[in-house]
Amino acid sequence: MPLDPSAIGREGPVHERSWSSKDALLYAVGVGAGLGNPAQELPFTTENSHGVEQQVLPTFGVLLAQAPGPGIGDFDRTMLVHAEQAIRLHRVLPVEGTLRAQARVQSMEGKRSGALVTSSSTATDADGTPLITTRSSIFIRGEQVESGAPAAADDWTQPDREPDWEVTLATRPEQALLYRLNGDRNPLHSDPAFAARAGFERPILHGLCTYGITGRALLMSAMGGDPGQFRAMSGRFSSPVLPGDELTVRIWRQDGGPEGALLFRTLRGDGTVVIDRGRAEVGAPE
């Protein structure tokens, strides 16, 4: 069957997940922490450095909040791309812990060349205290669905001035092979034959790896390296990244926006925008 619009509003099962210090360290290395300067991000890449207390990269919360969703119909998985991702933290992520997460299908929207399916996930501590809220959209090329009310227009506009921060970060040629150890074993990121069937010259980097690298840039610049100042982040994936590409994150304080509001874009070395319409919030999670 094609996409099933009756899935809108449906929730998946409550999913319990535990993580350890090792999981947080593996995620940090998977999104490039320590690359080029192993001493620069020790709070996120080590647990036993003298005078350094281990901390968790805030975007790790996207993985922690993942939960199995309800079925949305049948489609060709090679036609699926990650379109948008948002995270909001309600507390600083602990080094280890257990949470319960539940996913919900928010909407299905027909586009000219496919369908956009948006889901949310809410994660709480074992005692029910909110920890993480995420929103994720996938775009499925070639699928069609009857749309309801169109999504509200996004008024994102790049400021007409130089960015307040600009951070350039490298990726490894084997970055996708490292990142997949966090649980995303989609062969699009490792199998050349599968990537070719999807229309790519070689396996591409996970969108959430690019997202995590961008989150590091935001954290280390506009947020002073303090996870306690990382409240929220969202962005739209606009072009693929190949492992080994250099990424530049351009960050602006939002003119006329709320205190702590940021706008950002992530670009490949050739200037192609790979995460567009980026927004972030500086401040204590709430």
Residue from 23, 82, 184, 206 carrying the catalytic annotation: 184
Residues in the chain: 286
Cα angle 276-134-261, degrees, rounded to a multiple of 5: 50
**Rounded CA gap, 53 and 59, in Å?**
18
83, 7 Cβ separation under 8 angstroms: no
Q: Locate tokens 């949310």: which residue?
A: 120
| Token pair listed for 65 | 């909040």
Specify whether the CB–CB gap between 3 and 72 falls below 8 A. yes
* Catalytic residue of the set 189, 206, 245, 276: 189
50 catalytically annotated = no
**Annotated catalytic residue 189:** yes
DSSP states of 40-95 as a string? TTHHHH-SS-TT------TTHHHHHT--PPPP-B---GGGEEEEEEEEEESSPPPS
Catalytic residues, by residue number, are: 184, 189
